Structure 1
């Protein structure tokens, strides 16, 4: 049952992340997210990186509260959020933005679709008119670009 809670939380985080990205990061906290869309500089850290801390606090609190007496569902929700955050860091910061050069020349269609959708998201430098707010699941048209079988 605990593993199911972790997997369900991880899965539900995709929808939560989409909503936060669209309505919070591109909304009232645009001041923290703006530098992530500014292509004129490439600093090692951005104001946008504060979101890692903002999202880690509830996960740590849930793991703490869920482990105080006996490990309960709150702990496993916190684990699911943490695993999602780790996946986000790996895919978004390391793979997509190449903060650490890794998988730069991948031929994996799924990873290429995610990279393309994110690039489409970044073509908008202001908070309006954005698209592709998801992380692990992006619009099907990007998957079709890379999963389409080549014709002879």
Structure 2
């Protein structure tokens, strides 16, 4: 197998793996130990920035380090893992901040079933204003029940 194919697999695999990392971190860290940073995301205040935005830096740090050390070692596997994390971060930003929460008014309406499904799942997540009894902690993949709810409408 050529090196470029391995690097595409590493990047893609890391991207997919990051959904699990995001789910786990959201459920057990953001709604756990670091609730004080995530709380303002569930209990909105009239500010553009939230303490929750600090998670951007927390998630970006491994990507930056992997880019740095991977490039230093001749663009090895670490660089492409960093790329997978970066691409997931971009996708997360577009889906979460742009499409769902409309923090940037780039896209306002969609009849796309995927977008409506993830919006529905995220809406159900935000119906819980405290750290307990949450649901739907992922971002890019929604549970079957949300797909079925959107299909019915």
State TM-score, norm by structure 1: 0.94
In structure 2, the gaps of 5 or more residues are 1-5
CA distance in 2, matches of 1:104, 1:68: 42
- Indicate the SS of the match to 2:128: coil
Equivalent residue in structure 1 for 2:37, among 25, 32, 40:
32
CA distance in 2, matches of 1:112, 1:96: 9
Query: Partner residue of 1:147?
Result: 151
Equivalent residue in structure 2 for 1:132, among 130, 136, 142:
136
State TM-score, norm by structure 2: 0.93
Where does structure 1 differ by over 2 angstroms across 4 or more consecutive aligned residues? Answer: 145-148
CA distance in 2, matches of 1:143, 1:56: 30
How many residues are matched? 148
In structure 1, the gaps of 5 or more residues are none
Query: Partner residue of 2:3?
Result: none
Alignment of 1:104-123 (within 5 A): 104-123=108-127
- CA shift for structure 1 position 69: 2.7
